[in-house]
Structures are given as structure tokens and as C-alpha cells.
Amino acid sequence: MHLIVGLGNPGSKYQGNRHNIGFMAVDEIVRRHGFSPWRKRFQGETSEGVLEGEKVLVLKPMTYMNESGRSVGEAMRFYDVDPANLLVLYDELDLEPGKMRVKLGGGAAGHNGIRSMIAHCGPYFVRVRLGIGHPGDKAMVHPHVLSDFAKADKAWLEPLLDAVADHIPLLVKGDEGSFQNKVHLALNPAPEKPPKKAEN
């Protein structure tokens, strides 16, 4: 079984925050692939479905970001999920808005949700880092992540969420390279070549 986790904060107050891009991404995965309705379990909300013939549980921890690992650890233990089959989607300050990177393992890099995940689940899970950009000043980081996406951000946010949801089956299959590549191509389509001029 695969466990796909989106990180965010619960409640309508935080719904549109940059910090909640993980919730937004898994909402789109559930919608796109026709997963079951959300239900409350494991101190969070869960939805179930199948991708690439694999049973998948999607989880949104409702513990607040800095306690996310409690909820995820509970679900992992219940289903005996291998850490390599745990995929976590979250906001990344050190990536430009609309960029995405995948990596296995590593430290928390100052992200409280990931720090909690490492404490409860160990470090060896797959991270899908969704770029929200850095405000440029360390003092502005907190208000930046806890403020809503601007209307102008929709131009890159919606295509990013669409591309991640479309190609997530590749990641479930363990094909990280193809997943990154397909998302990148969806967001940066090759320019059309001009038609060749007819030779006289």
C-alpha cells in the first residue's frame, strides 16, 4: 500500500495559505482519480483509491503543521506502510513558485511539518517539494507562508497542481525521474517550431 500525504493546517482560515499547497495538491489527486469521499481517521482526513493497480491512502493530517507526524505515523503503523511507499507533498521556500522537486530522505531544512514527520516516521520517505518562493527576508518568512496565494499566482499554481495530479501514478510506480520530467514538460511545453518555408 502507498500512503500519499499532503501537509497543511486545518480550518477555513488557512485554506488558501501558501503553507497549504500540500493539502491543495492531494485534494486535486483525489478529485482527478475518483478516490472515495474524505472521512475522519488517524487524527486527519483520509480518502482511498487505486493507482497503477496499487491501493493508495491519501491523508491530510488535521493536527496542525508542526504535529503532522503524529497523524502520519498512526496511519503508517496501522497499515504497516514501508517508508519508501510514503509520499509527502509540501511547500518549499527554496524553490521558485511553480517549480517542483522530488527527493528521498534528507533533513527538515527548517520545515516544521517535515521535522515532525522525521520524528514520527523516520527520514526515509519520498518528498515532493512544491515551490512557493522565498520573500527575500528571513523575518518575512512566517507571514509569507501563512498568507494566501495572490490572484496572480493562479497562473502557475493551477497548472502545477494539475500536472502533479495527472502524473502521480508514475511516482506510485517508483519512477521518480519520469514523474519529475512529465511535470516539468507539462509546465514548460516545448515551443512550437515555425513551419519550414517552401523552397523556391
C-alpha cell at 158: 493551477
The catalytic position among 2, 19, 111, 144 is: 19
Q: Residue 51 and residue 32: Cα distance in Å, rounded?
A: 11
19 in catalytic set: yes
Single-letter code of the amino acid located at 194: P
Which 8-state DSSP code applies to residue 17? B
Alpha carbon 14 to its chain centroid, in Å, reads: 16
120 to 101, 172, 196: CA distances (angstroms)? 23, 22, 59
Q: Residue 124 and residue 132: Cα distance in Å, rounded?
A: 23
DSSP structure string for 138-188: GGGHHHHHTSBPPGGGHHHHHHHHHHHHHHHHHHHTT-HHHHHHHHHHHHS
Count of Cβ atoms closer than 10 Å to residue 101 Cβ: 15
Residue with cell 486545518: 10
Q: Which active-site residues does the annotation give?
A: 19
